[in-house]
Amino acid sequence: MQAATMDPAEEPPSMLWGLDPLFSAFARLYVKDILQMTESIQVPGIYFYNRHPIYKVDVLGTVVYKKEREDFFCYGVDDGTGVINCLCWKSQLLKPEEDPIKAGVKPSDVGQGGFNPVAELKKLRQAQQERRRLELGELLRVRGPVKTSRQQREIMASTYYRVDDPMMAVQIEWMMEVPQLYREFYDKPLLLKSEGAAGISTETPLSKAANIMRRFLDQKSVTRFRTYDVQDLLEPLISNKPPSADEHSVAGPSACRQLQQLLKEVLKTLQDEGLVYQRAKFQDEVYYVTTGDKDLLIAVKDIIREDSKKNKYAEKGCHVLHILSAVRQRHSLNVSRAALELVLKALECSSDIISTSDNSYTAF
């Protein structure tokens, strides 16, 4: 999954960031996306993924390198998509021990039963130190704000701990939850409404219409539709201002043309996003919802399964451009790369395929 690159001019005003629930949450993003996020020009330390303002993340991965300093550890955490440096501050238990006498424990406190509180305290500290130190190959969970230090993106851990996962139950649960979060929240661009003193929204008719169509396709589980099936949804956005006597004869056709033009622009927007596509262009235009078209999903899955067996793709998998070319030959010339990426994401979430590297996929 790739983080969207954003023009600084499109950055939402900082006073609206709090309207996004993700702003105050620990975002479970892939390391690759954390490294690619765009930093805010308004407030350093705030980053954007699909216009979502983010400054705290939650990462689960394997320790691939470590460095120890007097006050902190530096762990390199690999979640399978990339490696990020995590700065983990030591607690008092990991710092050099105090003199037990200064800590209020006297040698004379040893009881008649042979219990030595100084020795027991030392054993306890050693046990806790061992639990808090991680070795290469161990599973680490880190939560904290993202920082950029010396042109390197890293996590300043507010919480970190070793994850004991011998049966891989935690990792499997994580691998199922994170794609769901991407699908339902992270990959849906944030559309904030900036309201002035008069309460007038700056949202354009096109963005309103696009949102109406997205909700309709999502809530109704539509797999395909024709233009006349959905044009009624957009009629409330067309001005119904009563015409004057001189305009009466042209008011009807004008409103109709406005509706047709708006619908045309909305469908173009949805096609650019890959949400819908046309198999073929006929006079009676039929639009297919990309991730709801079972024939398209089967075609992509079959292409990856068949071509992954070839020597050329056996090691690294099939590149997305190869898959796109094959889909256009076998299924439809009108499948865009944006549409294909949504299909690949859906197939990966359902464990039908797996990404082997950036933009390459293979079948299980």
CATH code assigned at 75: 2.40.50.140
Identify whether 190 is part of a domain.
Answer: no
299 and 154, same structural domain?
A: no
**Long-range contacts: 88-96, Cβ < 8 Å, 24+?**
88/142, 88/157, 88/160, 89/157, 90/132, 91/132, 93/125, 93/128, 93/129, 93/132, 94/129, 94/132, 94/133, 95/70, 95/71
164 and 43, same structural domain?
A: yes
Identify whether 353 is part of a domain.
Answer: yes
Identify whether 184 is part of a domain.
Answer: no
Identify whether 261 is part of a domain.
Answer: yes
Q: State which of 110, 144, 170 marks the end of a domain.
A: 170
348 and 256, same structural domain?
A: no
Identify whether 238 is part of a domain.
Answer: yes
Burial 25-63, CB ≥16 within 10 A → b, else e: ebbbbbbbbbbbbbebeeeeebbbbbbbbbbbbbbbbbb
Q: What local confidence, expressed as pLDDT, does residue 240 receive?
A: 53
Q: State which of 124, 151, 170 marks the end of a domain.
A: 170
Radius of gyration of the chain (CA): 28
DSSP 279: S
**pLDDT beneath 70, residues of the chain:** 1-10, 92-114, 128-132, 192-203, 239-253, 282-284
122 and 40, same structural domain?
A: yes
CATH code assigned at 315: 1.10.10.10
262 and 325, same structural domain?
A: no
The pLDDT tens digits for 312-364 are 888 888 999 999 999 999 999 999 999 999 999 889 888 889 888 778 889 87
152 and 98, same structural domain?
A: yes
Is 26 in contact with 57 (CB distance < 8 Å)? yes
Identify whether 99 is part of a domain.
Answer: yes
**How many domains is the chain built from?**
3
Identify whether 199 is part of a domain.
Answer: no
Q: What local confidence, expressed as pLDDT, does residue 2 receive?
A: 42
61 and 117, same structural domain?
A: yes
| Cα-based angle 321, 327, 332 (whole degrees, multiple of 5) | 125
Q: What local confidence, expressed as pLDDT, does residue 248 receive?
A: 45
Q: What local confidence, expressed as pLDDT, does residue 99 receive?
A: 52
Identify whether 246 is part of a domain.
Answer: yes
Q: State which of 170, 197, 217 marks the end of a domain.
A: 170
Range of the domain at 259: 205-273
Q: What local confidence, expressed as pLDDT, does residue 173 receive?
A: 93
Q: What local confidence, expressed as pLDDT, does residue 8 receive?
A: 55
216 and 157, same structural domain?
A: no
Cα separations in angstroms, 101 against 97, 104, 105: 11, 5, 5
159 and 111, same structural domain?
A: yes
Q: What local confidence, expressed as pLDDT, does residue 196 receive?
A: 41
Is 8 in contact with 39 (CB distance < 8 Å)? no
- Among residues 96, 31, 19, the alpha carbon closest in space to that of 60 is found at 31
Q: What local confidence, expressed as pLDDT, does residue 106 receive?
A: 53
First to last CA, the chain: 19
Q: What local confidence, expressed as pLDDT, does residue 62 receive?
A: 95
145 and 7, same structural domain?
A: yes
101 and 11, same structural domain?
A: yes
Q: What local confidence, expressed as pLDDT, does residue 53 receive?
A: 92
136 and 5, same structural domain?
A: yes
Please, which residues have CB within 8 angstroms of residue 142's CB and are 6 or more apart in sequence? 58, 59, 60, 75, 77, 86, 88, 155, 157, 159, 160
Round to whole Å and give the CA distance between 267 and 145. 39
Q: What local confidence, expressed as pLDDT, does residue 97 receive?
A: 55
Q: What is the pTM of this model?
A: 0.48
Tokens describing residue 12: 């939402």
Round to whole Å and give the CA distance between 54 and 336. 30
